[in-house]
Structures are given as structure tokens and as C-alpha cells.
Amino acid sequence: MKRKLTEKILMTLLWLCTLGTVAALFLILGYVLIQGLPHISLRFLTTSYAPGLGLEGIWAMIIGTLLLMGLTLVIAVPAGIFAAIYLSEYAKPSRFLSVLRFSIECLAGIPSILYGLFGFTFFVVFLKLQFSLISGALTLAIMILPLLIRTTEEALQSVPVSFREGSLALGANQLVTLFRIVLPSAIPGILTAVILSMGRIIGETAAVYYTAGTVPQVPLTASESTRSLAVHLYFLAKEGLDQGQAFASATILIIIIAALNLAAQGTANILNRRLTGK
Amino acid sequence: MNRAKIITFIIEKFFWICALLSLLALLLILGFLLKEGLPPLFSIGFGDFLLGTSWKPLEDTFGIFPMIAATAAATAGGILLGGFVGLFTALFLAEVASPKLARLIRPLIQLLAGIPSVVFGFFGLVLIVPWISNHLGGPGNSLLATILILSVMILPTLASISETALRAVPQEYREGSLALGASPMETLFKVTLPAAKSGIIAAFVLGVGRAVGETMAVVLVCGNRPQIPKSLLDPIRPLTSTIAMEMSYSTGTHQQALFAIGVVLLVFIVALNLCVNYILKGRKDV
């Protein structure tokens, strides 16, 4: 009897915890969206930000975030993919390899505020790049590198060995096999890596704040400062002046992140289907 | 060597260099943070810095013990709450839920993991902080608010890594246990869970890293008062919040002291990663 009771309690706890997790998600999404959606208008999305002049739009932040994301990806994606190729296709177990893997794990674990401090002292001050789009992008590029490498490596390793063997048996060398067989098969997985990185970049605040700066303007060159949407939300939340704007900005962020999540799941499914032949 | 071979050689070396970038980046980060943060640690003194209880930048007094205490309390609370719920969610998804239900819930957990920390902070600020203030008293910006936000934030990480560890347990373990007459629930808690132990511990250690390093969510709900918390309702100021709050206007020794806090955080994070490495390498199970 006692055993049955314990089992029932544990079962209830398992259900409750899972429901709690899902409920937390819906509470956050629901609360922010309900308060935020009414404040979103075309005017809000397309005007610039100059509170003194009565302009409270987020156009500059949207463009700033997109430029920051684009520049970061241009820097980080090739490096990340090639690093993953080395780790997955070429590296042989060695002391050097474990050091390399450990450093990737460490990079993944470093808190974003430390990326902010590093970016500030190295890119902004030491390399004299100032608070700028390029300082922000370089800092973020290092930050997303581990995520890119790991996800790409997983995609490469999910390509069956038989694909490689078939190609090699037909007389293709390793490099041809890599570019003609392995990489094309892994493209949806690599796309997943890129989409997940986009999410990280768009949501990042601390590392952007101290490197790209906070000037709410559309940067015309890479050496101008900008303010990302996440940093903008931080300002609005901290100042507590206009909650409507803050809710609306948070809503935009959530919509973008949710869309990216859906896209990442879509590409991951394509990879699965392609490799299992279903 | 013919041309094709040379090209192959160059391309392969290029891959190697790209892989090396991570190591170089890490060394660069370590180097520059230590360069900025170590000198003030020596000039202030390790003991005075780590154990000093008063932080008064204007009087050149830099003691971060209250912040260490705040970080420790918030992390412990977040890990207890988020860890428990996260682990049970993982157990549910890996062992109890039907594949269909698990497929439905997993993307939701991923979405929770993807929500930007500043959105968590904002949510905490507009909903949790006023709720605490109205129902439990105090200013609302408190250790409790920080713990609640942190636990929701680390929950998805814990749940997904633990689930992976549970799924890696060979099916024979479960079958053997069931064949010996154990109930599904006994099998789950006495066989499967212990077998996935090292993966789950690694997940918790990573969760600690996230909780200690979280900044933008915490800074909005913690109250930012550098004091040793005596109750759950006290406003606190963790290490990361101190950097985030003061970095934008600090200069001179004050700014250096903030970098010293960064060094303390960095040392802690690297140590945690060494732990994870050790745990996963030394795993005998699975």
C-alpha cells in the first residue's frame, strides 16, 4: 500500500514539474504578448527613436540589430564551419585535440557579461575600434563560435559513414568527398546551426551593450555605434518610463525568436528525413 | 608535389587554423581580462577584495564578499528549484511521456531556452517583483525574485541535457530491472536515474555556470543593494550585476575593480568546466 502511494506521489510530481515548465513558458509569452501586441503599430516599427521629439519608434534598433547580426554571421559562420570540418573529418585523438575541445567548452560557458568586458577592453579600447558595429560583431562572433562549431559538427557526424565510403570507393579523394558528398548532405544541419546563432545574437544584451554601444541610430558604416533591440528593451525596462514601448519591444523580440526556433526545427527535420531516407 | 596535392595541403591546414581560432580566442580573453583585472587584485589585496564586506567605490573601498554571498544564495536557490523541476521534466520526457507528447513538449522547452535573458528580466520586473512586494512584503526586488527568474532560465538547459543522459541509458538496464519484478517507477528512480548520474551531474554543474554568469535578467530584478542577504525578501546584488550596473560610468581604480570581479567570475567558470570535463571523463556508467 505504502509503495503504491509513493509511486502515485512520484508520478504526480513528474506530471506537475513538466506542466510547471510548460506553464512558465506560456505565462511569460502570454503576459508579454497580451500587453505588447496592442502597442505595436506600423509607426512604432518604422519611425526613429528621439523621445525629446516625440519619436518612439524602433526602426533604428531593428536595422541596427539586423546589421549586427549580418556582420557577426559573415565573420563567424565560415570560421565555425571550417573548424567543425576539421574536428569532425580530420582531427585524430591527441592531447592537442582535447585542449581544443576544452577551449570550445570553456568559450561556451563564459558568461556574456565577460564577453562584454573582453570586447570592451580588447576591441573597443586596445584595437581602438570604439563603440561600433564592428566591435560588437567581432565580440559576438567569438561568443557564437562554440554553438556554431558544435551544431555543425553534429550535422557532419550524422552523415552516414557509408556515404563517405561510397565516394572514396569510387576514387574520389577526401577533399572531393567532403565538398561533394558530406557537406551537401549536412547543409540543413549547418543551416540549423546558423539559425540558432541568429537567435543568440538577437537576444544578446550584455556583450552588445559594452561593445556596439547604445546610440539609437542606423549605423552608416561599421565603425559607428548602434543600439540593438535587446539593449533597447534593457534601457526601457531600467528607466521604467514607458512600459508600453518596453512590452512592444519585448513582443517583437519574442516573435523573432519564436520564428527562428520554428525555422531551426524545420531544418533539423529536413536533415533527419534526408539522412534516414524517409 | 603536384598542384592538386599542394591545394589539398593548403585547404587542410586552413581547416586546422579555423579550429585553432577557438583556442586563440580563449587565450586572448584570458589574457586581456587578467591584464586588466589582476593588478587591482594585487593592489587591493586578495583577502580584502574577496572577504571585504563594504563596496564604496568613491572611498576606494572594494570588498566583494556581499556580492559573492548574493551570487551564491541566488545560484543555490535557482539550482534547487530549477534543478528539481528540470530533472523531473527530463525524467517525464525521457521515460514516462508517450513519444507523441514528448515531441509536443520538447520544442516548447527549446523555445523557453531561446527567450533572451533581458525578456526574462523584464517579465520578472513587471510581474514577479510587484507580486512579491504586494503579497510577501519588502521592495519586491529581492533574492526571491532573482531565484525565481534564474530557476526558470536554467530549467531548459537542465531538462534537455538530463534528458539526453537518460536516453543514453541502454534499454537492457530497464528490461533487466522490470524482469526482476521492479515496478516502472522503481526502475526509473533506482536503475535508470543512477545509471545516467554523471550526465545529470554535468547538467547541474553547467546550470550553476549559467546561474552564476546570468546578468541582464538578474540586474533588473535583484534590487542592486550590495549587502549580505538575510532573508529571501532582501534586495541583493550579485557579482555580474555589479559589473553591469557600474561599468558604464566607472573610471580608474573603480573600473579596474570591476575587471577584477570579472577575473573572479572567469576563474570560477573555468574551474566549473574542468569539473564537467572530469565528471564526464571519469564516468563509468553508460
Residue B286, pLDDT above cutoff 50: no
> Could you say which of B88, B262, B277 has the minimum Cβ distance to residue A117?
B262
Mean pLDDT of chain B: 91
Q: Check pLDDT > 70 for residue A1.
A: no
Architecture of the domain made up of B51-281:
Orthogonal Bundle (1.10)
Among A25, A120, A241, the strongest candidate for a mutation testing the B interface, having the largest count of B CBs within 10 A, is: A25
Q: Residues A82-91: what's their mean pLDDT?
A: 93
SS (HEC) of chain B? CCHHHHHHHHHHHHHHHHHHHHHHHHHHHHHHHHHHHHHHHHHHCHHHHHHCCCEEHHHCEECCHHHHHHHHHHHHHHHHHHHHHHHHHHHHHHHHCCHHHHHHHHHHHHHHHHCCHHHHHHHHHHHHHHHHHHHCCCCCCCHHHHHHHHHHHHHHHHHHHHHHHHHCCCHHHHHHHHHCCCCHHHHHHHHHHHHCHHHHHHHHHHHHHHHHHCCHHHHHHCECCCCCCCCCCCCECCHHHHHHHHCCCCCHHHHHHHHHHHHHHHHHHHHHHHHHHHHHHCCCCC
pLDDT average, residue stretch B111-124: 95
**A250 contacts B15? CB cut-off 8 A:** no
Domain containing residue A149: 59-276
pLDDT tens digit sequence for A138-188 = 999 999 999 999 999 999 998 989 999 999 999 888 888 999 999 999 998
A82 touches B at CB < 8 Å: yes
ipTM for the predicted complex comes to: 0.92
Measured between CB atoms, which of B21, B29, B220 is closest to A237? Answer: B220
Give mean pLDDT, residues B60-88: 94
- In the predicted model, what is the mean pLDDT of residues A205-234? 93
CATH of the domain at A73: 1.10.3720.10
Which A residues 160-219 touch B at CB under 8 Å?
173-175, 199, 202-206, 209-210
Chain B residues close to A21, C-beta within 8 Å = 85-86, 89, 105, 108-109, 112, 155-156, 159
Residue B213 to residue A83, Cβ atoms within 8 A? no
In this predicted structure, the answer to whether residue B284 has a pLDDT above a threshold of 60 is: no
Residue A277 scores a pLDDT above 70: no
Would you state the pLDDT for residue B248? 84
Q: Which of A49-53, A211-215, B83-87 has the weakest average pLDDT?
A: A49-53
Q: Do B105 and A18 touch (CB under 8 A)?
A: yes
Task: For chain B, positions 183-202, list CB contacts with chain A under 8 A.
Answer: 183, 185-186, 189
Number of domains comprising chain A: 1
What per-residue confidence (pLDDT) applies to B1?
62
How close is the nearest chain A Cα to the Cα of B269, in Å? 7
Do A10 and B189 make contact, defined as CB atoms within 8 angstroms? yes
Asked, for residue A88, whether it belongs to a domain, the answer is yes
Tell me what the mean pLDDT of segment B55-79 comes to: 93
| pLDDT beyond 90 at B262 | yes
- Residue B216's pLDDT is 93
Q: Does some domain include residue A108?
A: yes
Looking at every residue in chain A, the average pLDDT score rounds to: 92
pLDDT value of residue A275: 75
Put simply, the answer to whether B265 touches A233 (Cβ < 8 Å) is no
